[in-house]
Amino acid sequence: MMTRGATRMTRVVMGHMGPRYFSTTVLRNDPGTGVVGGAAAGLLHGFPSNPSEKVAVTWVRHFSAMGSRSASTAALNEKQQEKESSDKKVENTATAAANGGAGKSVVSYWGVPPSKATKPDGTEWKWNCFRPWETYEADMSIDLTKHHAPVTFLDKFAYWTVKVLRFPTDVFFQRRYGCRAMMLETVAAVPGMVGGMLLHCKSLRRFEQSGGWIKALLEEAENERMHLMTFMEVAKPNVYERALVFAVQGVFFNAYFAAYLISPKLAHRIVGYLEEEAVHSYTEFLKELDNGNIENVPAPAIAIDYWRLPKDATLRDVVLVVRADEAHHRDVNHYASVRTHKADDLDLFGIDGCI
């Protein structure tokens, strides 16, 4: 009885699953064209209706991921295969031509090469990370000595948090200011991106304007990233410094993300004090350059184009403009900590959105 029940159950299951997963196909040879054609003959039927035909019975598995559930393909037309192969060759040739050669890759996400730009002297613009209209001259008249005295509890908490974080940095880098600047910029570029991202989501949730703060913070993050790209040309990081960047950035990103969710004012105040320490660090960097302890090498080409520096600019000129940028970020974040993100805040502060 059990054997009969099992046999009956197997037949029922195969009756339901067979048409979905398997079929038999009768392959016929057309003498006129020499092309093999096929016709499904059912699950358990693989015999031709005309015994004189030359046939072959084939079991074909159907893959639902391919979009076939109740039919199978016995063979592809040879002419179709040749046509598809030819189309692929044409497509590959067009792609290679658009890329300027087989060895070059498309630098645009959409597969469209960027438009070519030129410098004012007519030479070709070679940077893809920023364009000529994104360059600027740093404001060298900014007050470098400005300091926000901590008054409230949040101010004092932010101030001493930054002071505590500075201690291990001093111990690790000491007077290696090139590596110190590189590490500093990997951290300094995080707050602007985190703040801009969270304000972007807030603007979407509340259906309201951001008052220009999203753009301002994202441009601050981009500016800090350009600092890093510049100092990468000056100080080459070794293996353990790269590992340190991974660890510090991972911890700082999550900590700052949580702080910004809890209190944006506290988060901006921390960044304000962090930028004050950055101004101090670059001032010490300049002293080392002036004393001859660090070689005043020519400025990297990317720095000359980004800050519109003269062609004979040196590392000292780069440090000066970077320090001015950090002082500007200091003022923006201290102001953001005092004011809430309202629509007219940037206009009241005299910020035009270009950091």
* Mean pLDDT for the stretch of residues 92-105: 48
pLDDT band at 331 (very low <50, low <70, confident <90, very high): very high
Residues 6+ apart with CB under 8 A from 329: 188, 220, 223, 224, 271, 275, 278, 355
Segment holding 25, helix H or strand E: strand 22-29
Would you kindly state where each structural domain of the chain is located, as residue ranges?
A: 158-345
182 or 346, which is more confident: 182
pTM over 0.75: no
The reply to whether CATH 3.40.109.10 applies to domain 158-345 is no
Exposure of 69 by Cβ count < 10 A (0-12 exposed, 13-18 middle, 19+ buried)?
Answer: exposed
Measured CA to CA in angstroms, residue 67 lies from 39, 63, 76 at distances of 18, 7, 17
22-29 and 36-40 as β-strands: parallel, antiparallel, unpaired? antiparallel
What's the pLDDT at 69? 41
SS3 89: helix
Angle of CA points 246, 225, 219, to nearest 5°: 130
The pLDDT tens digits of the residues spanning 246-256 come to 888 889 999 99
Return the residue matching tokens 């559930």.
69
CA separation for the pair 135, 306 (Å, rounded): 5
List the beta bridge partners of residue 61. Answer: 22
